[in-house]
A and B are shown apart, each in its own frame.
Chain A
Amino acid sequence: MISFFEALYINPLLLSAVIAGLAASVVSGIIGSYVVVKRIVFISGSISHSVLSGIGFCLWLERAKGVTWISPLFGALAAAIISALFIGWIHLHYRQREDSVIAALWSVGMAIGILFISQTPGFNVELTNFLIGNILWVTPVDLYVLFGLDLFILVTVFCLHKRFLAICFDEEQAQLQGVPVNSLYLLLLVLTAVSIVLLIQVVGIILVMTMLTIPAAIANLFTKSLSSMMAIAVALSCLFCLGGMLTSYHLDWPAGATIALVAGLVYVAFLPFKR
């Protein structure tokens, strides 16, 4: 068996997978840092699982109704953004029951997805890929979408980082300074939703929270500013992707699960190092 790095030269699928992993790592580190410090991990979990409704709906349209132009990826993106805005609206207006509504959206989103899939003919390989991830399944079009969304998130965060920092640390102070706190909170949730869809390509719906939160949570142990936390989280996320893919290549394990496992083990190892 040739080594992982030799395989990268001769296997374009593997190279695309590594590039996709690194591209997703950028958003995972940046948006994951906001998710961790703003303590919206549970909200992110709900968004990631409700994505299944969009995927199921698009697969059903494609297979049962013959709508060929639609893609499960766009269904995932639409479902994630709608869920994020809905949860954001609940957070702003019905904070007392927020956790119950988020939990309900979590399971209702999955239920809708399962119902559509049950009505969709054939064996749905895409569905399995979305659930547990298959980074080798990434197409050139997916890579362009990944780069485009990466660029969008980087530019947005560059311009709004100080304001996001303010709303994550102290919403009242930000509001007194005339910052549109509610709009920025909704935008942060939408960026989280987009990042989740990108990461689902790599590790799947079930494991996406690992990549969104673990690199940032480890970085939080060693930093005193949010921007350095993001840089460390991006670096860690890249390492987890490369380490996970290398391990999965040699052991013939599923790539997404191996990446998540590597990240989880490193987090457990770092837990005793409290700041």
Chain B
Amino acid sequence: MEKPAVILENVFFSYQNTPVLKDVTFQIASGEFIGIIGPNGGGKTTLLKIIMGFLKPASGKIEILGHPASSMEAGVAYVPQSMRFDRQFPISVLELVLSGRLAHLPWHGQYSLEDKRAAQKSLESLGIAHLQHQAFGMLSGGQAQRALIARALVSNPKLLLLDEPTASVDSQAEADIYALLNQLRGKMTILMVTHDLAAAVDQVQRLICVQGSVISILPSEVCEHFALGLYHTPLQQTKHTKLPVINFP
């Protein structure tokens, strides 16, 4: 049996004296597509940073792709929200995507032909090859998010982490991003933080609710859990979705 891609056992994490994650234990099987949901300040981003090895927990065991998180080898890629970047930063889309191949960069710092081919392929798979010489800062929200996904995929990751990939995109770009993630389903393990519960329930195989501690639920169980007041907020019905969208406090 294949080893789980992510193992967290009894993980505790605090910012100074404020506990953020308490006794977090879960496993994610290789190839699973997981949605991470929870209220603002519940610890979703902290959980991602712990998985990436950027934050060290106070206690607990973490194993990512068979390695401790702090000594992680290549195989993990991260797609942050595009709006967090400086739009004045002078970087072209091609340079951005190539930066996903930094792990392969030789000492003299020049990308190989293979790196350039991989970047081209990744740009084409996201449908933004024609934008490769554009400045990243000039892209629309959806294009920028696709460029960041292309950067993540160019490294051929085994574990793909996404932080609200559809937060600043229009509905067409959102549909395109979910279609792409569906194509990737099973080829790599995917963890997607999202506030859009309706979309998450449609797309993912399992949901991890983070609110200090962690609960793992199946999409079919969501309504029942939220009806129990997991987030202590009312449900809101949106026009175009069958399932509720939660506005976290």
Contact = CB atoms under 8 A, between A and B. Distances in A.
Interface of A: 37, 158-163, 165-166, 168-170, 172-179, 220, 223-226, 228-229, 275
B109 A170 contact: no
Interface string B133-148: 1110110000000000
B52 A169 contact: no
Nearest to A160: B109
Nearest to B106: A159
A229 B90 contact: yes
Contacts of A178: 73-74, 102-103
Given A37-B89, A160-B109, A226-B91, A170 B102 contact: no
A223 B155 CA distance: 27
B135 to A, nearest CB: 3
Contact of B74 (A165, A177, A229): A177
Contacts of B191: none
A169 B107 contact: no
B80 interface: yes
Contacts of B23: none
Interface of B: 52, 54, 72-74, 76-78, 80, 85-86, 88-92, 95-96, 98-103, 105, 107-111, 133-135, 137-138, 151, 155
A37 B76 CA distance: 27
Contacts of B88: 220, 275
A160 B106 CA distance: 10
A176 B138 contact: no
A163 B102 contact: yes
Given A162-B109, A178-B103, A173 B90 contact: no
Contact of A162 (B89, B105, B137): B105
Most chain-A Cβ atoms within 10 A of its Cβ — which of B78, B95, B111? B95
A185 B236 CA distance: 46
Contact of A173 (B74, B108, B151): B151
Given A176-B76, A177-B103, A170 B85 contact: yes
A230 to B, nearest CB: 9
Contacts of B109: 158-163
Contacts of A175: 52, 54
Contact of B102 (A159, A177, A223, A229): A177
B90 A225 contact: yes
7 contacts: A162-B110, A169-B85, A172-B52, A175-B54, A177-B99, A224-B92, A226-B91
A37 B109 CA distance: 20
Nearest 4 interchain pairs by C-beta:
A224-B135, A177-B102, A177-B103, A159-B109
A52 B151 CA distance: 44
